[in-house]
Chain A
Amino acid sequence: MGIYLIKRLGASLLTAFIASILVFLVVRMVPGDVVAQMMGQAGDPQAAKSLREFFGLDQPVYVQYITWLLKVLRGDLGSSWTRGMPVTMMVGQAFLVTLEIGLLTLLIATLIGVPLGILSGIYEGRPIDTAVQSLNILGLSAPVFWVGLMLLVAVSGIFSWSPPLRYMPPTRSLGDNLQILALPVISLAVLQVAAYSQFVRQNVVSALRQEYVRTAIAKGVPVRMIFFKHILRNVMIPIITFMGLILIQILGGVVVIESLFALPGLGRLLLTSIETRDYPVLQGALLVVVATAMVINLLIDLTYRLIDPRVRVS
C-alpha cells in the first residue's frame, strides 16, 4: 500500500506539473493580452510598455512560469490583474460556491439515482425497468443548461416565481441560499440521477448473474438476505467510487450552469477571467479545477483498494 501510494502520488504530481505548464502556455496563446484589453485601440505605447513590465509580461515565458510556479508552491496564486485582489482568495470563495452546488447535486443524485438503479436492476426487463431506463436515457440526452432554461420557464409560468438574482452565501441566509441554488442544482441533478441510476442498474444486473447469487437462491436463502448480503455488498464499491466521477462531471457542468444562473463559482470565474484575459485568475482557477479532479481520482483509487481486497492483490 505504501509503495503504491507513493507511486500513485508521484504520477499525480507529475501530471499536475505538466498540466500547469500546459495551462500556462495555453493562456499565453491568447491573441491580445490584458494590457491591450485595458488600453483599448488607441493606447499609448509607452504606457503599455510599462504596464507590461509591471505584470512581468516583458519577461520570457519560461521566466514567467518559474516565477509563478515558485509562488504557487508557497500557496500564493498572485493577484488579479483586473481587480487587484489576491487570486487565492477569489478562487477560494468561488470554490466554496461550486463545492456547495456539487455536494447538493451529489446528494440528490445519490438519494434518487441509487434506489432507482437498484429497483430497475432487480426488476430487469419488467415494465418498471423499462420506465426507469427510458427516463434515464432522456435525462442523459437533455443538455444540462437547457434543462435549467426550461425549469426557469416552468417555475415562472406555473408559480410566477423566479430565483433571486443576487447570490447569498449559506452562512448569511440559508433559506435565500437554497432558493438561489434550487434550480441550478436540479438542472445538474437531472443528468446525474440518470447517470447514477444507469450505472447502479448495470452493476445490480451483473451481480444478479453471479454464481454465488444463484447458489444462494438454490440453497433457499431468503430474498431479503440475498439482496443485502450478496448483492448490495458487492454493488457498494462501484456505487461509492461513482460518486467521485459524478463530482468530476459536476465540476465541468458548473461552467454553463453558473453562467446561466449568475452564480459566483469556479466556472464563472473561469469564464470571466478568459474574457478579461486575467491570467493569474485563469491559471489559479484552472489549477484548482484540475487539482480537485486529481484528488477525487486519487481518493477513488484509494477507496477501491481499501474496500476491495482483490485490487490490493493484483
Chain B
Amino acid sequence: MTPSRKNEPPAVVPGVRRRSNEAGAGRAAIKNLFRIYLEKPELAGIVLFVLLTAVFELRSGAAFLSSDNMRGILGLLPEVGLVSIGVTILMICGEFDLSVGSTFALTPMATSLMIIAGVPAVVAVLLGLVIAGVIGFVNGFITLTFSIPSFITTLGMLFIVRSLTIVMSGGFPPLLPDDLDTSVFTRFVGPGGLFRASFVWFLVIALASAAMMAISNLGNWIRATGGNLEATRAMGVPTIRVKIFCFVLCAMMAGFGGVMQVFRLHSPLPSIGDGLELQAVAAAVIGGTALTGGIGTVLGGVVGALLIRVIDNGLVMSQVDANWFKFAVGALTIFAVVSNTWLRRTARRMKVAT
C-alpha cells in the first residue's frame, strides 16, 4: 500500500499566528478547560451544586448542612433521583419520556392493590415493575413502529396512565395494610441514621447505571444510538432493541421510585408524581444531558436531581418564599441549556483536541 499520510493537524490554529508564550499558555489552559467540559458535561452542574450549597449554608445560618436537614434532602432524593436517571439514559439514547410521572403513580397503585388483595409484598412489587416495564415497552414500540416523536407518544401515555391510575384507585386512595413491613425502603440507616434505606437502593442503582453507561458495550450502543442513529445502525448495532431497552428501563426506574414513595407515605395517592416528568427532564438537562441525544451522564442526572432538591430545600431554609422554587428551577434549566449549547459550539469551533 502506498502509505497515505493522513493530514496532521496544523501546529498552530489558523488565524492565531505566533503569540507570546504567555498568551499561548493561557489559550492552552482554556482549551484544556473546554476539553474537560466536553468529556464531562456534568461538571458545570457539580460546580453549581457546590456553590449553591455554600450559599444556602451561609444564608441559613449553618442549618442547611445540619444532619436533620440533610436527612430531609437525602430522604426525598432517591424517589426523584431514580426517575431522573431513567430519563437521562433515555435522553442519551435520543428519546424522551413524559409519562414517567404517571408511571410513578400507577406502579405503586397496582402494587398496593395487589398487596391489599393478599399478594406477598415482594411479588407485588415485582409485578408492579413488570407493569411499568410494559408501559415503557408500549412507549417504545409505538414510537419506533410508527416513527413518531416519543414526545407525542409519551405525552399521550401521560394522560392514559394517569387516568388508569385514578380509575384503579376508584377515586379513593387505598391504604396499605398497617402490618406491612416497609423498612426495606424506609428505615434510617448510615451514620447517625443520616439517610433512609431507599437511599442505599438509589445509590446501588445509580452506580450500576453509571457502570452500564461507562464500561459495558450496551452503554456504548446507547450513547452511539443517540449520537448518530444512522451510523450506529450501519455498524450493526440493534438500535431498535437498544431504544426499547431504554424505554423499558426508564419506565421501571420511575415505577420503582413511585413504589419507594408510596411505601414511605403508606398510601398510593393517585396524584403523586404529577409534574415529575418535567422535573426529571430539567434534572437531566441541568446535569448536562443534551436534548438531541448522545450527550450526558448518569452522574449528571443525579446531580441535576440533587440540585433541584437543594434549591427546593435551600430556599425554605434561607427563608425565601417557597413559591419561588419553580421559578428557580425554570431559570436554572434555561440557563443550563443556553450555556451548554454555547460551550459546545465554542468548543467545536476551537477544535480543542487536535
A and B co-occur in one complex: no
Interface residues of B (CB under 8 A from A): none
Interface residues of A (CB under 8 A from B): none
